Amino acid sequence: MATYTRSGRATAGTVVRVIGTIIAVILVAHILFGLLGANPGNPLVVWVAQWADVLALFFRGLFATGSDALNVILNYGLAAVFWLVVTGLIARVLYHAG
């Protein structure tokens, strides 16, 4: 029977990829809450909005199209894609370095 062992770098790569996915989920949740008209006083919506503002980095306010919905989609959506690409690249380096 063959056994499979993972190197520490491969495990680190998986952790980095999971962190990137969690960040993207928070940003997408913020987009959905805004588009679907979630109650802004709800504690979950407040928590997601606070973290989304931090995680959006320099993408927050990058586009000003005149439409609030489109602004949220572009700014926070671009931030989500950024995090997925960056953490994916870091994870790939970690996978192949092991």
Write out the chain's pLDDT in tens, 98 residues. Answer: 666 666 777 788 899 999 999 999 999 999 999 999 999 999 999 999 999 999 999 999 899 999 999 999 999 999 999 999 999 999 999 888 75
- 23 token code pair: 């960040």
Q: What is the pTM of this model?
A: 0.88
Q: Please report the pLDDT score of residue 84 as a whole number.
A: 97
Position of tokens 């994870």?
A: 91
**Sequence letter at residue 37:** G
Residues 6+ apart with CB under 8 A from 95: 9, 10, 13
First to last CA, the chain: 23
pLDDT of residue 36: 95
What pLDDT does residue 4 have? 60
Closest among 87, 89, 88, 84 to 25, alpha carbons compared: 84
Q: What is the pLDDT of residue 73?
A: 95
Q: With beta carbons less than 8 A apart as the criterion, state whether 83 and 18 touch.
A: no
Query: Can you give the pLDDT at residue 75?
Result: 96
Max CA pair span of the chain: 62
Q: Which residues contact 22 (CB under 8 A, 6 or more apart)?
A: none
